[in-house]
Structure 1
Amino acid sequence: MKYFAWCISLLVGFMSLGQEMLWFRIVSFIWGGAPHAFALVLFFFLLGIAFGASRGKTICTRCSNLLWAGGNILIFAGIIDILIPFIFQYTCQITTDDILITSLCCLLIFIVAALKAILFPIVHHLGTRIANDKVGSSVSKVYFFNIIGSTLGSLLIGGIFLDYISVSSMFILIGIVCILLGGLMIIKKSLVSVIAIVILSSYCFYLVDKHTDYIFKNMLPTHLHINSYIENRYGVIHVVNDNRDGRKNIVLGNNMYDGVLNINPEIDINGLNRLYLLAAIHPNPKKALVIGVSGGAWTRALSSFPTLETIDAVEINKGYLDIIKQYPIVSPILKNHKINIHIDDGRRWLKRNSDKKYDLIIMNTTYHWRSGVTNLLSQEMMKIVQNSLNPNGIFAFNSTRSPDTLKTAQSIFKYAYWEGRLGFIYASDSPIILDEDMGKNRLDKLVLDGKPMFTEKSKQKGAYNRTLNTKLLSLEEVEKLYNLERETEIITDKNMITEYKYGLHKNKYDNKI
């Protein structure tokens, strides 16, 4: 019996903590990667565990057949798990309100955590030896296997399985395992039968569609038409059209605006003038680094710079490469001999390649309030970037209108300026000079696929003006512009102020500013 109890303890811990990773993915998607998403999931998950363990204790004192009771609870938990994707699908057809959907998440997190936690006292009763004063040792072994299962659940499901199985399918597979395990508790209780259940569950892996999209399919507003969809362990990528204003090929990464598949200066709906400005202010860039490829539009446009010999592009989510392959406007970057794409974390890649030096480092950063963005905006990161720049090199990144990012850049670089309209920041240890005549001459030399980027038609429609009339503001001018009621602060890895102190949840479907 003790081996059977250990196996049940391990598998229940595996499924329970694995589901916590799934819930975090869902809540984080709803709130666009806001830092409080994990805290919300953890609160209701632990609340459910506490309540479930309490109910399990009651069952242990009142029920004589714990195998029968535990089996029925697992079967019921499995049914709930299987229904979760369909509950979301139905709910999102009725409403896309974040508050209502989050409330539903909190309720379901509590229920599924509580149901599985009921098994924890039960397996301790089944696996504990009272004779010969072995109670402490027996309890510790059951708990040990539960910890092993919990660790493996979060590691394997969150770190590996979600690269091959969608969140919706993972809920269904966990539900199937719960039902099989519950049936095993009721019918037979041997180690051999546990192994048989594991084999049977593995077989179910091939029967369930591993890429069903019940949960995220209808979470987007109805005015967004989905063109492409990629889901992996890093998150969910959508390429959508906006039926309200006619914008096409908008890239959403984990439910947040992440760019537009456009490189045309004439219809500059994704602010590419901020990139073209680098051609106007840097005389002769030869090596460039792009941190964050996303849909590839900025990297594709950057390849038009005639003097560039090498472009290193770092992207953490390999799913974007699958998106890029589908759209001819950006897919050439995958075959361009000048462009080297690396699947890695940008900061980690810079530290591992500290010997490489660049004339341009471009980072079209995500919103400053999102979880983990401190790794890109902190003073420590900017020191790493500074070390990777040539003497006349320029670091250009998106502040998403956080004045603290400019203060941080100024603490590292001798010169740092704020692009007046959208808050892009240009920093360097050499003076940054924008000369209109020289800038026009350099922009005229931008060529892509044998054609000039700035045609006469695009010039007439203001493409030149959007780039060359850019106002580069100092920190003092930005503080006056925003009329801040506080002092700007330096972002560090320790204070994480943009995420927690001054974080602000903006409209998820507006252009990234």
Structure 2
Amino acid sequence: MKYFAWCISLLVGLMSLGQEMLWFRIVSFMLGGAPYAFALVLFFFLLGIAFGANRGKTICTRYSNLLLAGGMVLIFAGFIDILIPFIIQSLNQPNSLFECVCTCCILIFVVAALKAILFPIVHHLGTNIANGKVGASVSKVYFFNIIGSTLGSLLIGGVLLDYISISSMFILIGIVCILLGGLMIIKKSAISVSAFAILGISCFYFVDKHSDYIFRDRFGQDISINSYIENRYGVIHIANDNKDGRKNIVLGNRMYDGILNIDPDNDINDLNRLYLLAAIHPNPKKVLVIGVSGGAWTRALSSFPTLETIDAIEINKGYLDIIKQYPVVSPILDDHRINIYIDDGRRWLKRNSDKKYDLIVMNTTYHWRSGITNLLSQEMMNILHNSLNPNGILAFNSTRSLDTLKTAQSVFKYAYWGTMGFIYASDSEINIDDNVAKNRLDKLVLDGKPLFNEASKQVKNGAYQKTLATKLLSLDEVEKLYNLGRDTEIITDSNMITEYKYGFGANN
């Protein structure tokens, strides 16, 4: 019996902690990657464990057949797990975000509580009171539970989500719960274990591993989805906004991540912020891009006439599958000058500290999202500074956080605020000469054709004119313009101020 109890303890721990990872992905998606998403999930998960363990204790005192009681609880928990993707799917428009998150928190509490009921039960089943080794028996049950919990986080969160969707993972976990519960009720034997193992393998084979009940339709009727990719790094949508006519919008974990567009005559993704680099740097040969996303910025960079090499870093390999599907950006995969690496940008820079660049471009995500400190902190600015050649330029998206400009200014001699809060930093003063800028922009060539034709140059609000009209402002000028109402601060790895102190909804 003790071996059976150890196995149940391990499997329940694996499923429970694996589900915590799934819930974190869902809640983080709903909240747009807000830093407090994990804390919210953890709070209701631990609350559910505490409540479930207490109910398990009551079951142990009231029922003599603990295998039957535990089996019934697991079967019920399994059916709830299977229903979860469909419940969340129903939480679509017109439900508010608050209602969706509240429902998820209740479900987190319920599924955590149901599995935690098994914890006291398996301790009773696996404890040998007769020989007096109660402590040793309890520790072994707990040991296997910890092993299962660790495996659940690593196996499900770190491996399986690359091959199985979150919706399918909930369904498969539910099936395992039902089978394990049934095995507890009929009691173990070589025949029953073999039969249930075959059933489990069959279910794994027949369940669709890529069903997308949870994330496919999360944007309402005004948004239509062209492409969809889900992996362990998150969820990518390529969407059309049927209300304002914009097409091929890249959404990473529900948040805007660019547009698959390089047409300067229709500069809906404000690539003029990138073209400015061609106007202010005389001879960029080596370029580093951190965050490829849909590839539009990397594709536009390939038009620079003096370019020799682009090293492009992207943490989510799913974007490469997206890029392959769209001819407007797919040439970057075959361009011999462009090297794409699937890695974390900061980690890659540390591993390749000997490489130097004329330009480093980061079209960074919103400054309040979880983990963004890794790209915006003073420590990261120092790493980027060390990776630039003399007169090199760092260009990155502040998403209008003045603290990022203050941080860049603490590392670079010059840091400027450009269009939409795009920041340009260098140890050399950056000046825009209209005649020089025009000459350099005229030399941008893509697919053998000038990027800016004569017609596009005459468009008042076109990318060409917007690039030439760019004003680079100092921190003092920007502070007067925005009247922040507080002193700007330097972002560090320790204070993480854009994520917490001045995060989403705070005064930025």
TM-score normalised by the shorter chain: which range applies?
Answer: over 0.9
Paired position in structure 2 for 1:274: 273
Q: What is the correspondence of 1:230-245 to structure 2 with a 5 Å cutoff? A: 230-245=229-244
Structure 2: 5+ residue runs without aligned partners? Answer: none
Aligned to 1:325: 324
Verify the 8 A CA contact 1:4 1:194 in the aligned structure 2: no
Question: Does 1:259 pair with 2:258?
Answer: yes
Stretches of structure 1 lacking an aligned partner (at least 5 in a row):
507-512
1:85 counterpart residue number: 85
Counterparts in 2 of 1:364-383, with a 5 A limit? Answer: 364-383=363-382
The letter for the 2-side match of 1:438 is: V
Q: Deviations over 1:316-350 (max 9, x none)?
A: 00000000000000000000000000000000001
In the alignment, the residues of structure 1 paired with residue 165 and residue 505 of structure 2 have an alpha-carbon distance, to the nearest angstrom, of 27
Aligned mates of 2:437, 2:331 — CA distance in 1? 27
Q: Equivalent residue of 1:91, what SS? A: coil
Quote how far apart the aligned CAs of 1:428 are: 0.4
Task: Give 1:53 deviation, angstroms.
Answer: 0.3
Cα distance in 2 between the residues matched to 1:195 and 1:492: 55
The match for 1:481 is: 481
The residue number in structure 1 matching 2:21 is: 21
Query: What per-residue deviation string (whole Å, max 9, x for no partner) do you get for residues 101-136 of structure 1?
Result: 101101100000000000000000000011222000
Separation in 2, partners of 1:461, 1:190: 79
What is the CA deviation profile of residues 137-176 of structure 1, one whole-angstrom value per residue up to 9, with x for unaligned ones? 0000000000000000010000000000000000000000
Q: Write the letter of the residue equivalent to 1:480.
A: K
Structure 1 equivalent of residue 206 of structure 2: 207
Contact 1:399 1:423 in 2 (8 A): yes
Measured after TM superposition, the shift of residue 430 of structure 1 is 1.1
Larger CA deviation: 262-271 vs 489-498 = 262-271
Q: Distance in 2 between matches of 1:323 and 1:183?
A: 42
Identical pairs, percent: 80
- Alignment-derived partner of residue 509 in structure 1: none
- Mapped to 1, the partners of 2:497 and 2:194 lie a distance apart of 50
Residue equivalent to 1:417: 416
Aligned-pair distance for 1:236? 0.2
CA positional deviation for 1:203? 3.1
Aligned to 2:291: 292
- TM-score, scaled relative to structure 2: 0.98
Please identify, of 473-482 and 155-164, the stretch whose mean Cα deviation from structure 2 is larger: 473-482
Runs of 4+ off more than 3 Å: 190-200
Q: Give the Cα separation in 2 of the matches to 1:464 and 1:110.
A: 54
Q: Aligned equivalents of 1:204 and 1:195: distance in 2? A: 14
- Asked if 1:442 is matched to 2:440, the reply is yes
CA distance in 2, matches of 1:434, 1:171: 55
C-alpha separation in 1, matches of 2:370 and 2:269? 23
Within 2, Cα distance between the matches of 1:190 and 1:10?
Answer: 19
Amino acid at match of 1:446: L
In structure 2, give the amino acid aligned to 1:453: L
Asked if the contact 1:2/1:127 (under 8 Å) is kept, the reply is yes
Q: Secondary structure of 1:132's match?
A: coil
Q: Deviations over 1:60-85 (max 9, x none)?
A: 00001000000000000000000111
CA distance in structure 1 between the partners assigned to 2:456 and 2:379 by the alignment: 40
Q: In 2, distance between residues paired with 1:429 and 1:333?
A: 30
User: Does structure 1 retain, via aligned residues, the 8 Å contact 2:378–2:408?
Assistant: yes
Residue pairs, 1:449-460, within 5 angstroms: 449-460=447-458
1:426 to 420, 424, 427: 424
Any conservation in 1 of the 2:216–2:228 contact (CA below 8 Å)? Answer: no
Structure-2 residue corresponding to 1:159: 158
Aligned-residue Cα RMSD (Å) equals 1.3
In the alignment, residue 436 of structure 1 is paired with which amino acid? Answer: D
Q: Tell me the distance in 1 between the aligned counterparts of 2:191 and 2:501.
A: 54
Number of residue pairs matched by the alignment: 505
| Segment drifting more, 497-506 vs 368-377 | 497-506
Q: Distance in 1 between matches of 2:79 and 2:120?
A: 21
2: CA distance, partners of 1:193 / 1:137: 29
